[in-house]
Amino acid sequence: MNKALLYLFFLLLLPTALSAQGKLVVLPESRDQVVFDDLADISKEFRLTITIQNQGDQALNLIWRKSVLSQPLDWLAEISDKNNYYLPETQSNIDPDLNSEESIYLAAGETSEVNFHIFPFGNSGDASYKIEFINETDPDRVIAETQFDYSIQRPVVVGADRASLRLFPNPSTNYIELPYNTIVDHIDVYNTIGRKVVNFKAENGVRYDISTLPTGLYLVSLVNNQGTVIKTLRFFKRTIRP
C-alpha cells in the first residue's frame, strides 16, 4: 500500500476512532451563582450539581480532577459522585494515596451527576472552582470541564447605607449585582483610562450584563439621583476559557 492510499485509509478510519472514544457533555459548562443566606447555621451545606452525559457509542470510565481556584480560608469544598463521597483534601477520584481508585463508569447514552458540597461554616465570601473530566483510557487528555463562581452573601436590609454597597460576584464573567438598596440611581462603568464603557439604571433585583466587556479591571461609580457619586468600586471582568 503506497503512502497516499495509507493516508486515505487513515482519514476514513478517523471518525470511527473518535466516536469510539465517546463524547462527554457536562452541564453547566460554566456558572456564576450568588446565594443569600443569614448563615446562622454554621453546619449548613450548599450544593451545586453537575450533570455528565456520555453521548458517544462507547462506554467511558471517567476520572475527575477538582481545582479550587479561589476560596475563603474558612470554607471547605467536597465532591460526591455515584460511587463515593470524598473528603475536602481529595483532588481526584483516582488517588491511590487516599484509597480513592474508582472511576465513574458511564455506558453509552448514560447520564450521571457529580455534586459539589460547599461548607462556609457561617462565613460569607466568594469562591471559584473547576472540575476536569478525563477518560481513563487516555489519562493525559481532558475531554470536558466546568468552571463556576459561587458567592454566599448575607441579606442586606432595605435602605442599605453606603458602607454596605458592594459588587458581586467579583471577579465576574457575565453579570454584576448590587445589594438591595434605596440610594443608588444609576451605575457608570469605566475602564482603567477613565473612559465610560457602559452605564445602567439601578434597579433592585436586576443583574447587570457585562458579558461583552473585554477581560480586565474596571471602576464602577454608584451615583444617586442628584448626580453625586456615592461610592466607587472595582471589579475584574474574567473571560470564560474556551
CATH of domain 21-153: 2.60.40.10
Rg (CA), the chain: 23
Tell me which residue of 128, 148, 131 sits closest to 70, measured CA to CA.
Answer: 128
The strand pairing partners of 208, in sequence order, are: 176
Asked whether 148 and 181 are in contact (CB, 8 A), the reply is: no
> For residues 213 and 197, what is the distance between their CA atoms, to the nearest angstrom?
8
Q: How far apart are CA 119 and CA 225, in angstroms?
A: 40
Cβ neighbours of 151 (radius 10 Å): 19
* Helix/strand/coil for 241: coil
Q: Please tell me the predicted confidence (pLDDT) of residue 69.
A: 93
The whole model's pTM is what?
Answer: 0.62
Q: 28 preceded by cis ω (within 30°)?
A: yes
**Three-state DSSP class for residue 30:** strand
pLDDT digits (tens, 9 = 90+) for 183-219: 899 999 999 888 999 999 998 888 999 999 999 999 9
Nearest Cα to Cα of residue 237 among 220, 216, 219, 209: 216
User: What is the DSSP track for 196-217?
Assistant: EEEEEE--TTPPEE-TTSPSEE
pLDDT single digits (tens) 16-53: 444 444 589 999 877 788 888 888 888 899 999 999 99
Q: Are 18 and 118 in contact (CB under 8 A)?
A: no
Residue 135, class by beta-carbon neighbours within 10 Å (0-12 exposed, 13-18 middle, 19+ buried)? buried
In the CATH hierarchy, which fold is given to the domain comprising 162-237?
Immunoglobulin-like (2.60.40)
> Which sequence spans correspond to the domains of the chain?
21-153, 162-237
> pLDDT class for 158, splitting at 50, 70, 90?
low
* The domains spanning 21-153 and 162-237 adopt the same CATH topology: yes
Residue type, 193: I
Round the average pLDDT of the chain to a whole number and report it: 85
Sheet holding 216-223, edge to edge: 196-201, 186-190, 216-223, 229-237
The tens digit of pLDDT for each residue in 62-83 reads 999 999 999 999 999 999 999 9
What's at 37, amino acid-wise? D
